[in-house]
Homo-oligomer: A and B are copies of this chain.
Amino acid sequence: MTRRPTIIDVAREAGVSKSTVSLVLQNSASVRDETRKQVRAAMARIGYVYNRSAANMRSSNAGLVGLVINDLRNPFFTEFATSLQMALADKGYSAVIANTDEDPGLQAQVVGSMIEHGVSALILCPAYGETRATFDAIARAGIPAMQMLRRVDDRLDLFPLTAPDYARGSGEATRHLLAGGARQVAFVGGLEGRAVTEERQDGYLSALAEAGMTPVMLTGQSTREFGRETARRLAETHPQVDAAVCFNDLVALGMLSGFQEVGRDVGQGFRLVGFDDISEAAQCFPTLTSVRCDIARIGAQAAETVIDWLDKGTPPPGETRTPVSLVVRQSSGGDGRS
C-alpha cells in the first residue's frame, strides 16, 4: 500500500505551491478560478483525500459534532438523532454518536472521548443522575454544548436547553379527553423526580384542576411493557378510569396491545392519548391520538443552531420551547371511527 498523497503531491502535480493547494481546499476567494480548477483536477488525478486530523491541528474546526443520546433504541430519540445527523451531514459536518442507556457513568466516558476526538460541539439528550462533573469537563474544554429535550444541568447560560412545551401538550391532551366525555383520566408512565415527567404531569394536573377532577397517576417506566401491564390490570386496579394521557407513545402503544389482549375497546370504551407522535402512532390500530413534538424538525433545527453558534460564537438563548400540537386520531374516540 503506497502512502496517501498529501498537498505537496497535489502541488507538484498541479505545478503550484502547497499554500495554493491549501487555499483551494478552503475555497478561499484569493485563488484564481482557473488555478482552482487545475488544482482540483490534480487532486482527482492522484486520488488525494483531505486529512482533517492534520488540518484540525492548526485551525481546530474538526467538522465533527458529538451526539450523546440517553436511549437510542427509543424511536423518538432515533428520529431525533437521525434527522440531526442528516442535517449536519448536509452542512458538511459528521456526527459521532453514542448511546448512554441512561447511565451517567457511561455518559461521562463517551463525553470524555468525544472531547479527545476534538468535537467542535456537543448535543446531548443527557442521562439523569450524577452529571455535574461531566458538564464541568465540557465547560472546561470550552466546547459549545446544548441540552436537548431534557433539562439536566441548570446552567442554561452554558448549556442552553431546547425542548418541546411538554406541559402545554399534556394539558391539551387532557382537555381533549375531558371534552370528549371522559369521567376519570389517568396519567400513565414516567419516572418520578425527572424534569420531563414533572412537566408532562403538570399540564395534566392543571387541566384536571380546571375541571375540578381528581388525578390518578400511574407512574412507571415509559415502556411498552409498562403500558401493557397497566392496561391488562386496569379494570381491577382502577375500574373508574376511562381515559389516559400517557407519558409517551410507547406506553400508549403498550396499553393498546394490553387492552386488545383483554378485549377492551379503545376509542369509545377507553380514550387514549400518547405523547411524541412517533410514526407508528399513525400506523397502529386503532390509530393513536398523540401530542406531536415534530422531533424531526427539532433535530434539524438543533443542527442549524449549533452550527450557527460555532460560526458566530454567540450561544442561543438559554431556553427554547418548541411548539406542540395534538394530533387527534381514533384512540381518543375523536375521528371517523365514532
Contacts and interface: CB of A to CB of B under 8 A. Distances in A.
B51 A118 contact: yes
Contact of A99 (B52, B82, B99, B140): B82
B116 A89 contact: no
A320 interface: no
Contact of A101 (B86, B96, B97): B86
Quickly give the copy total for this chain.
2
Nearest to A47: B140
B82 A73 contact: yes
A284 B112 CA distance: 39
A81 B78 CA distance: 11
A41 interface: no
A253 B257 CA distance: 12
A261 B283 CA distance: 11
Interface string A93-116: 011111101000010011011111
A216 interface: no
A290 B96 CA distance: 33
A15 to B, nearest CB: 24
B78 A283 contact: no
A225 B57 contact: no
Interface string A133-147: 000000011100000
Contact of A64 (B72, B82, B117): B117
A150 interface: no
Contacts of A116: 49-52
A296 B228 CA distance: 24
Contacts of A112: 49
Given A94-B96, A97-B95, A116-B49, A283 B228 contact: yes
A88 B114 CA distance: 13
A331 to B, nearest CB: 12
A260 interface: yes
A14 B252 CA distance: 57
A78 B72 contact: yes
A110 B91 CA distance: 12
Given A1-B142, A78-B78, A254-B283, A89 B109 contact: yes
Return the 7 tightest CB-CB contacts between A and B, nearest first: A257-B285, A224-B283, A97-B97, A260-B285, A53-B56, A53-B53, A261-B285
Given A53-B117, A53-B118, A253-B283, 10 more contacts: A54-B57, A57-B57, A63-B113, A86-B98, A89-B110, A94-B114, A228-B283, A254-B283, A257-B285, A260-B260
